[in-house]
Structures are given as C-alpha cells and as structure tokens.
Amino acid sequence: MSNVRLLLIGPPGAGKGTQAARLAEHFGIPAISTGDIFRENVKNQTELGKKAQSYMDAGENVPDSLTNDLIHDRIAQPDCADGFLLDGYPRTAAQVEALEGMLAEQSATLDAAVELVADVEVVVNRLRQRAIEQGRSDDSEDVVRHRLGVYAEQTAPLIDVFRDKDLLVTVDGLGPIEDITERILGRLQAAGVVAS
Ligand code: ADP
C-alpha cells in the first residue's frame, strides 16, 4: 500500500496504458483507464457505453460530465483509498478542475503528473500496428489523426497547468518498455514520490 496518487498524460499511442500497468504494480495501487472503462461499457452496451460510443468512434472526447461522474465513483471505491494511478484522465481543463474537487473531498492530493513524450509520426505508426493487432475501432488512420488533434487542442495545454503546480515529471516515451518504467521511477524518486 502506497498512498501515491499519480496521473499519466501524453498523446494517444505514447504508451500510457503499458506504463500505467507497470507503475501500478510497482506502487501497489490500481491503474484506472477511462478509455478501458468506456470500452468495457461499450462492449456490454450499458447506458454509459451507449452514450460514449459515438464520441469514441469519432475520436472525440466523451463529455466531461459523464467522464467526471465515472471517475468520481471509481476513486471512491475502497481499493483507491491508499492511492491510484489515472491513465487518460484528466483530458480537459474542466476535468482537471473536477479532479481537484474530488481530491479535496477525500482530503487527498496528487503527487505527480507524468508526461510521456512521443513524436507524432512514432505514435501514428504504433497505432497503425495496434489497429492490425487489436482491431480497435478508433485506431483507423483518420480517427487517429483526429484524436491527435483533440489531444493537441484540449489536453496538451494541461501540461503547463501541472508544471505550474510543480507536479510535472516529463519522460521520453521512446525506447524499451522496461527502460521507460525505470526512467519514470527514477524521476519520481527524485521528486520524492516513492512507494511506502
Ligand atoms: P488514447 O489515449 O489512445 O486516445 P484511450 O483509451 O485513453 O486512448 O481513449 C479512447 C477514447 O475514450 C478517447 O478517444 C475518448 O473518446 C474516450 N476517453 C478516454 N478518456 C477520456 C477522458 N478523460 N475524457 C473524455 N473522453 C475520454
């Protein structure tokens, strides 16, 4: 148990999901991916899934109200009491604000925002490969380009917000998976964020 609260930010295809799983294991905290939760809901055709599907297929963000409610409920679960790692949330300024409110409700604070940096052409190639391997409906080339545009417009500006709060840890997302995890853990340790 760690009492560490982290989030991962970076463009689609930067490897957030892969690193999220490894970091969550290291710290003994749950990794929470809004994308995975939405996809599960779409698969099961829940009410939430039905509402989210058209946005996801178009590569648009799901509306903030739905996304914030989802995270509000998820981080109130008992397994999040001693920390969690958010993958793909927050993605908009309104989500940052909502998260702050949720953390305040829990008398908790964010320890770090980890930015995974990856070049556009690299991520487009990775997602092209993932489209072949996993057949995700939003990994077609035009939807990928659109998701990158949405990221640049709505999510990338949040990096400055986390930098201003002194929470930003920026890590190069290129290279072997293990090396990237080590880089992140090294940077977190230097920032005083360690498993307890
Ligand atoms: P990627 O980071 O590769 O775009 P995700 O699995 O994180 O993949 O997200 C897939 C889709 O799920 C997004 O394009 C969006 O429609 C929806 N989604 C995920 N997280 C959020 C969020 N925080 N806010 C709004 N929509 C989201």
Q: Count how many domains the chain has.
A: 1
> What range defines the domain where residue 88 resides?
4-187
CA of 196 to the centre of ligand 1 (A): 31
**What pLDDT sits at residue 79?**
97
Is residue 146 assigned to a domain?
A: yes
Instruction: Tell me the C-alpha distance between 49 and 45, whole Å.
Output: 5
The answer, yes or no, to whether residue 26 has pLDDT greater than 90, is: yes
Name the closest-CA residue to atom 10, ligand 1: 35
The answer, yes or no, to whether residue 15 has pLDDT greater than 90, is: yes
Is residue 155 assigned to a domain?
A: yes
Name the closest-CA residue to atom 4, ligand 1: 12
The answer, yes or no, to whether residue 90 has pLDDT greater than 60, is: yes
Is residue 192 assigned to a domain?
A: no
**How many other β-carbons are positioned within 10 Å of the β-carbon of residue 72?**
14
List residues near ligand 1 (CB under 6 A).
12-13, 34-35, 38, 55-56, 59-62, 67, 88-89, 91, 95, 138, 147
Q: Phi first, then psi: what are they for 187, rounded to 5°?
A: -70, -35
**What pLDDT sits at residue 196?**
75
Q: What global pTM score does this model have?
A: 0.96
H-helix segments, the chain? 16-27, 34-43, 47-58, 64-75, 93-105, 120-134, 141-150, 157-164, 177-190
Q: Which of 56, 19, 20, 60 is nearest to 41 (CA)?
A: 56
CATH number at residue 178: 3.40.50.300
Is residue 195 assigned to a domain?
A: no
| Residue from 62, 96, 99 to probe ligand 1 pocket by mutation (most atoms less than 8 Å from CB) | 62
The pLDDT of 137-154, averaged and rounded, is 94
